[in-house]
């Protein structure tokens, strides 16, 4: 939920504490949400593109995570097709500011988890996406 007095901020309601780590985890800390953000950073924008990710997010969970990210102001959507109605999703500035968080997770994973994609491999994937999605 967005704080009406501070539109760029989400409300840390129903959280375990006012700790920013706890509040961030309450919003982003499940096993799927940051993968949706990752996909948006990699240039994916449509529901079917998210579903084609290697992790295989179930459709009901994907729909719920997109709603949660919209409500928190992390993403926005725009209609790209009328019949049937379909939307493209894009990171807001607030969502884009998660980029360093994901880069830090990539670096940590590369250092401590064998077999993970390197940052260079991920950056190459970003460069391969169409210019309109960057």
For the chain, give every domain's residue range. 20-133
Angle between helices 59-71 and 33-41 (to 10 degrees): 80
49-73 pLDDT, tens digit each: 999 999 999 999 999 999 999 999 9
Q: Of the CATH numbers 1.10.10.10, 3.40.190.10, 1.25.40.10, 1.10.3720.10, which one belongs to the domain with range 20-133?
A: 1.10.10.10
43 with 133: CB under 8 angstroms? yes
- Please give the model's pTM, rounded to 2 decimal places: 0.84
10-51 pLDDT, tens digit each: 667 666 788 888 889 988 999 999 999 999 999 999 999 999
Spell out the residues 6+ positions from residue 73 whose beta carbon is closer than 8 angstroms to its own. Answer: 2, 7, 8, 10, 92, 94, 95
Q: CA–CA distance from 108 to each of 54, 112, 118 (Å)?
A: 21, 6, 11
110 with 116: CB under 8 angstroms? yes
112 with 98: CB under 8 angstroms? no
């Amino acid at each position: 939920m967005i704080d009406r007095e501070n539109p760029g901020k989400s409300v840390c309601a129903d959280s375990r504490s006012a700790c920013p780590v706890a509040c961030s985890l309450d919003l982003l800390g499940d096993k799927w949400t940051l993968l949706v953000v990752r996909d948006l950073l990699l240039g994916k924008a449509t529901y079917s593109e998210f579903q084609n990710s290697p992790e295989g997010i179930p459709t009901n969970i994907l729909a719920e995570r997109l709603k949660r990210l919209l409500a928190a102001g992390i993403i926005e959507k725009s209609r790209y097709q009328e019949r049937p109605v379909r939307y493209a999703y894009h990171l807001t500035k607030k969502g884009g500011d998660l980029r360093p968080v994901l880069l830090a997770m990539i670096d940590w994973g590369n250092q401590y988890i064998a077999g993970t994609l390197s940052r260079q491999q991920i950056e190459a994937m970003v460069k391969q996406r169409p210019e309109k999605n960057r």
